[in-house]
Amino acid sequence: MAESKEEVDVLVQRVVKDISSAFKRHPNIDEIGLIQCPEARYNRSPIVLVENKLGVESWCVKFLLPYVHNKLLLYRQRKHWLDREALVDITCTLLLLNPDFTTAWNVRKELLQCGALNPERDLYLSKLALTKFPKSPETWIHRWAFSGTGRLIHQEMKVCSDAACRYPSNYNAWSHRIWVLQHMAKGDIKVGLLDEAAAVKLPRSFLIEGFIGQAFRVILDVNFAFIFLLIFFLFRPGFYASLSPRRHVFYLYHHLEDSRVDRRRHVGVPMEVDGVSFPDHDSKRLRRGGLLPSLQNEHTFINSTLNSSCNPEQKNFALVYRKWLDTVVSAHQ
Amino acid sequence: MSAQLKDVIIKPDAPSSLLLDKHADYIAAYGSKKDDYVSKSVSSSVLVQGKMDTINVDKAVEFVLSCMNFDGGFGCRPGSESHAGQIYCCTGFLSLTGQLHQLNADLLGWWLCERQLPSGGLNGRPEKLPDVCYSWWVLASLKIIGRIHWIDKAKLRRFILACQDEETGGFADRPGDMVDPFHTLFGVAGLSLLGDEQIKAVNPVLCMPEDVLQRIGLQPDLLS
């Protein structure tokens, strides 16, 4: 086993090169991970590549991480020079092992600024880091640096969803989703609605409830007319299981005092989502059927949910919704 | 909401009345161990009060507000998860700098009152166990934003009292655990905020007796 300083140096430099070569030869690597392997078995590289998954054997980490960490800090302190390619390789290695090392991300930001690094490569690296570290705050924050690039919103939402699925109640992933809605979608209603309708199929939690509320706020800030579209979707029995968005729509509807006149004017305008039109008669039906949100309607809805045979989780949400109506909404009556 | 809700169960023989004399003895005995971190925190907050002009308050407010999340709470840095301890620091800060109007009191108040679990205790964020120190972080925050009535006070009081140790005095983080001065302070302070008449009124922003603050003429903002 390598123990002398020279042997460690040689080993580490080889491993960093192996990682760099792996990415060059296999541009489709989509996941990284640590392979539990306490000792080096044979005289071969600890970097393992199987079906687009990149693994690092755990025995080498205790040599690798301190070495590259130290090298980067020496560079930062101007005590050791590293050329651009070496910086790219070293930061890549570092961030795949510990993506919350802010300095490494900042070095990459500098490389981006001077054109020595392709933005796509950085987005790819952070996406990979999130496969192993789905909460990593510094990785999510690094993605904010790319607001000016032409990356697709759907791709960004996929990164969020994948990370949210990898870790329960992944706050940072949902927080990033809000960032995308605010800074990338910039209130593009169609994108916002469709993506968020898909998002709510994920497991229920209060975190997601809070996120959905904020998502609606972001969307509705842009165009008040769509509140009727949302009401139509959400209040139709059986279409939408969750009570969380209903609560937020209720709150938003009753806080749009200023736009009452606008709302009436927009009711007659057909809405369109994904090619499906909602003609005027549907809006009139909403009003006739008493489907617009009032406190009484909501309490009736809650009681029918509680008395129905739906699952305990849904009943819990109904109770929480009732508590919210009694606590928060009643305070303003 | 998971099927297995994380919470504690309060046993029927848990303490149900305030054992003030026991707590006084506990703190007195602890003070003799030359552990003065409580007095340090008190003096440091007074020091900050006297030296506000040495900080760039506008920049500080800007940073604190950048840590506000979509649920109305605050994390330790932009994008971080809302946490009751952070929320207390930020609401206290916004009170001291006269910026409470920047909060969404309904949104934050709702997040805070949702910390209350069936046992009556408060946790620091969703899916966590209750802890008596959150009787302070959460309750004081609610008091600052004028929504303390959104908590079930009787249930919380029952939880706090159950955290006492009848033999040694002092409060633990939850019923049956070991006591320490940290949780004793926040248990007592929480009870004060809940209106216990045996305890002096405590200021929610600075965690100091109101009469002390009145003496030095300090009354931080609160929302109604």
pLDDT in tens, A188-237: 655 555 555 555 555 555 566 666 666 666 665 545 445 555 554 554 43
Which candidate from A171, A313, A327 shows the least CB-CB separation from B81? A171
CB A268 within 8 A of CB A287: no
Cβ–Cβ pairs < 8 A, chains A and B: 54
Q: Is there a contact between A210 and B78 if contact means CB atoms under 8 Å apart?
A: no
| CB within 8 Å of A20: residues ≥ 6 apart | A89, A92
* B27 CB neighbour count, 10 Å cutoff: 16
Q: For A102, how many CA atoms within 13 A lie in the half-sphere containing its CB?
A: 3
The CA distance from B46 to B97, in Å, is: 15
Tokens read off for A256: 């749009």
Nearest to B186 by CA among B88, B107, B116: B88
The CA distance from A45 to A19, in Å, is: 10
Q: In whole numbers, what is the pLDDT of chain B averaged over residues?
A: 88
Nearest residue on chain A to B1, judged by CA atoms? A205
Q: For B43, how many CA atoms within 13 A lie in the half-sphere containing its CB?
A: 5
Q: ipTM score here?
A: 0.75
Element (H, E) at A57: strand A53-57
Q: Is there a contact between B79 and A207 if contact means CB atoms under 8 Å apart?
A: no
To test the contact with chain B by mutation, choose from A328, A329, A330, A332 the residue with the greatest count of B C-beta atoms within 10 A, namely A328
Q: Is 80 exceeded by the pLDDT of residue B147?
A: yes
Give the residue extent of every domain in chain A.
Answer: 1-132, 147-220, 223-260+290-332
Question: For residue range A21-43, what is the model confidence (pLDDT) as tens digits?
Answer: 999 999 899 999 999 998 887 78
Nearest residue on chain B to A215, judged by CA atoms? B70
Range of lowest pLDDT (A46-55, A62-71, A89-98, B63-72): B63-72
Range of lowest pLDDT (A212-221, A269-278, B32-41, B113-122): A269-278
Q: Is B95 helix (H, G, I), strand (E, B) or coil?
A: helix
Q: Is there a contact between B1 and A204 if contact means CB atoms under 8 Å apart?
A: yes
| CB within 8 Å of A104: residues ≥ 6 apart | A72, A91, A94, A95
Which candidate from B71, B79, B126 shows the least CB-CB separation from A141? B79
pLDDT score, position A227: 54
CB B17 within 8 A of CB B161: yes
- Rg for chain A (alpha carbons), in Å? 26
Alpha helices, H only, B116-166: 134-144, 153-162
Question: For residue range A103-135, what is the model confidence (pLDDT) as tens digits?
Answer: 999 999 999 999 999 999 999 999 999 999 999
CB B159 within 8 A of CB B143: no
To test the contact with chain B by mutation, choose from A100, A136, A167, A171 the residue with the greatest count of B C-beta atoms within 10 A, namely A171
Torsion-angle region of A322 (φ positive above 0: left; ψ -120 to 50: alpha; else: beta): alpha
The CA distance from A254 to A16, in Å, is: 58
Q: Is A291 helix (H, G, I), strand (E, B) or coil?
A: coil
Task: Determine how β-strand A53-57 pairs with β-strand A271-273.
Answer: unpaired
Q: Which amino acid is at B223?
A: L
pLDDT score, position A1: 52
Task: Determine how β-strand A31-35 pairs with β-strand A53-57.
Answer: parallel
Tokens read off for B85: 């301890």
Q: Is B181 helix (H, G, I), strand (E, B) or coil?
A: helix
* A3 CB neighbour count, 10 Å cutoff: 8
Q: Is 60 exceeded by the pLDDT of residue B3?
A: no
Which candidate from A137, A176, A206 shows the least CB-CB separation from B1? A206
Q: Is 60 exceeded by the pLDDT of residue B38?
A: no
Q: Is 50 exceeded by the pLDDT of residue B44?
A: no
- Band the pLDDT of B50: cuts 50, 70, 90: low
pLDDT score, position A216: 60
The CA distance from B219 to B216, in Å, is: 9
Q: Is A176 on the interface with B (CB under 8 A)?
A: yes
Q: For A169, how many CA atoms within 13 A lie in the half-sphere containing its CB?
A: 14
The CA distance from B203 to B200, in Å, is: 10
Q: Which amino acid is at A26?
A: H
Q: Is 90 exceeded by the pLDDT of residue B43?
A: no
- Band the pLDDT of B4: cuts 50, 70, 90: low
pLDDT score, position B53: 73
pLDDT score, position B13: 93
The CA distance from B146 to B58, in Å, is: 24
The CA distance from A273 to A277, in Å, is: 7
Q: Is A213 on the interface with B (CB under 8 A)?
A: yes
Question: For residue range A167-182, what is the model confidence (pLDDT) as tens digits?
Answer: 877 888 888 888 887 7
Tokens read off for B64: 């604190």
Q: For A196, how many CA atoms within 13 A lie in the half-sphere containing its CB?
A: 31
| Chain B hits for A140, Cβ within 8 Å | 79
Q: Smallest CA–CA separation between A287 and chain B, in Å?
A: 29
Element (H, E) at B123: none
Read off the pTM.
0.72
The CA distance from A98 to A102, in Å, is: 10
Averaged pLDDT for residues A274-281: 37
Q: Is there a contact between B70 and A175 if contact means CB atoms under 8 Å apart?
A: yes
Q: Is 90 exceeded by the pLDDT of residue A65?
A: yes
CB B100 within 8 A of CB B90: no
Tokens read off for B10: 């309060």
| CB within 8 Å of A231: residues ≥ 6 apart | A249, A253, A286, A291, A292, A293
